[in-house]
Amino acid sequence: MAPSRTEPLDLEVPEPKVSYDINVPYNSGPEEYERRLRETSEFPDYLPVWEEGLWFDDFPIFEYHDPALRADKTKPHLITDNVKIQSVTPRMGTILTGVKLETLSQKAKDELALLICERKFVVFREQSNFLNAGPQFQVDFMEYFGKLSRQPVTGAIKGFPQFHVIHRDGNEEEIKTFFKHKMTTTIWHHDVSHERQPPGYIMLGILACPEIGGDTVVADTAMAYQRLSPVFQDMINKLKVNHTSRHLIAHAKASKGMVRSNPIDSIHPMVRVHPVTGEKAIYYNAEFPDEVFGLKDQEAEVVTKFLLDFISKGHDFQARVHWEKNSVVMFDGRTTLHTGTVDYDTTTQTRHLFRLAAMTEVPVSVEDWEESRKEEKEKI
């Protein structure tokens, strides 16, 4: 873990060739551009801002109790008679119509947590009331599921650094520059996996979206793990990986953006166990990991490239979330990878959404999970 400081580190980095993540801005645009956005946006208060004077020390370790573990498995408080249920794929993804997020009881939220663990992600349609309830209401809602992470570099909502704002409207020159160096906007990632207790429950709320395009693609990394041979599983079960925000923060500084925290380095197991379902899942992504402990560099390069290629090509354990106006999605950060897609006309269409990420437990390795099960049996 990086030591706490009271001012940003002075990192020397070269000028970036492309955006770290094409889906988000790292600083504000020209004044005229920002004025036009605020005049035309349906949610001007949710446009990204970079507040001066904010600094976050490392988030302290906290005790976590998962609400899914106290849920009624039949979900009578969430799935009521007026709720329509639709599966996205046979294995993952559930669309709920008729649920009013702003009125959910604590028991219903517990059942929602369990459904997210079971189905990997849940889509809620017709959430205009929730999206218009304001940032404080949304923060309070998500804090039921865990402590919220805070944005180290990207734009947030004024007064609410828990919000990560994803906004695309214009910026065509930036996108052209991006594609001079890159072939795709796809980046398979876990959200802020560099946190010591990375997010387990994550919310995306759509504020503006194209009629077609801009989908979010989700991959089930628990099913991906199951497809591996027992020999390969046993090998990666033993590996640990350093997840770091160092490169993200270096890019923000090189882009003359704002930095609100020191880099965070956290060592997580390459395979983590879900504390609610008991599933084992690959916990590796294309954004934050930078070192695999237990393998030499060339070995790590082969293993990690294989895993990411395998997951990205595994369309039989993926699902595509199509955004509709006034939709909200909540997904499981422990057993999924996801990526946005910039495949729409960014000169005429806007994609604007927010993310809130509830941090849960320190990731549990297979070895630690099996040891804890053994101890529990010995007590009986």
Which of the pair, 4 or 128, is modelled with greater confidence? 128
How much is the pLDDT for 171? 64
Distance CA 216, CA 14 (A): 31
pLDDT of residue 4: 37
202-252 pLDDT, tens per residue? 999 999 999 999 999 999 999 999 999 999 999 999 999 999 999 999 988
- Asked whether the beta carbons of 265 and 2 are under 8 A apart, the reply is yes
Residue 229 one-letter amino acid? S
Asked if residue 370 has pLDDT above 70, the reply is yes
Distance from chain centroid for Cα 217? 12
Query: Which of these ranges, 9-13, 45-49, 164-168, 173-177, has the smallest mean pLDDT?
Result: 9-13
The pLDDT value given to residue 19: 59
pLDDT at 85 over 60: yes
Q: Provide mean pLDDT across the span 55-68.
A: 95
- Output phi, psi for 81, to 5 deg: -60, -30
pLDDT at 275: 98
* Domain annotation for the chain: domains and CATH numbers: 31-379 (3.60.130.10)
- Cα 141 from Cα 112, distance rounded (Å): 12
Question: pLDDT: is 174 or 50 the higher one?
Answer: 50
On the question of pLDDT at 125 being above 70, the answer is yes
CA distances from 278 to 69, 115, 224, 246, 373 (A): 12, 14, 15, 31, 11
What digits encode the pLDDT tens for the residues 264-276?
999 999 999 999 9
Q: What is the pLDDT of residue 13?
A: 41
Which one, of 333, 281, 363, lies nearest residue 142 by Cα?
A: 333
**Given pLDDT bands bounded at 50, 70 and 90, which one contains residue 163?**
very high
Whether the per-residue pLDDT at 79 is higher than 90: the answer is yes
Let me know: does 233 contact 281? Beta carbons within 8 Å. no
14 has pLDDT over 70: no
Average pLDDT, the chain: 90
Q: What is the pLDDT of residue 73?
A: 98
Provide the pLDDT for residue 5.
Answer: 35
pLDDT of residue 142 exceeding 50, the answer is yes
Identify the sign of the CA torsion 131, 135, 140, 146. Answer: positive
Nearest by Cα to 23 from 373, 340, 286, 300: 340
Contact 107, 128 (CB under 8 A): no
Per-residue pLDDT band for 15 (boundaries 50, 70, 90) equals very low
Check whether 334 has a pLDDT greater than 50.
yes
Q: What are phi and psi of 51, to 5 degrees?
A: -80, 135
Average pLDDT of the segment spanning 115-125: 98
Tokens for 148, please give them.
């919220």
C-alpha span between 319 and 100 (Å, rounded): 24
The tokens for 298 are: 């060339």
Give which of 159, 137, 169 is closest to 39, Cα–Cα: 169
The percentage of residues in the chain with a pLDDT greater than 70, rounded to a whole number, is 92
Q: What is the pLDDT of residues 36-46, one digit of tens each?
A: 778 888 999 99
53: left (phi over 0), alpha (psi -120 to 50) or beta: left
pLDDT of the residue at 183: 87
- pLDDT at 266 (0 to 100): 98
Split at pLDDT 50, 70, 90, the class of 2 is very low
pLDDT of 81 reads: 96
Mean pLDDT value of segment 173-192: 85
pLDDT the model gives residue 22 = 64
Q: Give residues with Cβ within 8 angstroms of 40, minimum separation 6.
A: none
- Confidence grade of residue 26 (pLDDT, cut at 50, 70, 90): low
> DSSP letter string over 231-246?
HHHHHHHT-EEEEESH
Residue 33: what pLDDT? 67
**Confidence tier at 34 by pLDDT (50, 70, 90):** confident
Per-residue pLDDT at 7 exceeds 60: no
Q: What is the bridge-based pairing of β-strands 336-340 and 147-148? A: unpaired
pLDDT class of 378 with cuts at 50, 70, 90: confident
CA angle (97, 99, 102) in 5-degree steps: 140
Query: What is the model's pLDDT at position 9?
Result: 40
Q: What is the pLDDT of residue 258?
A: 86
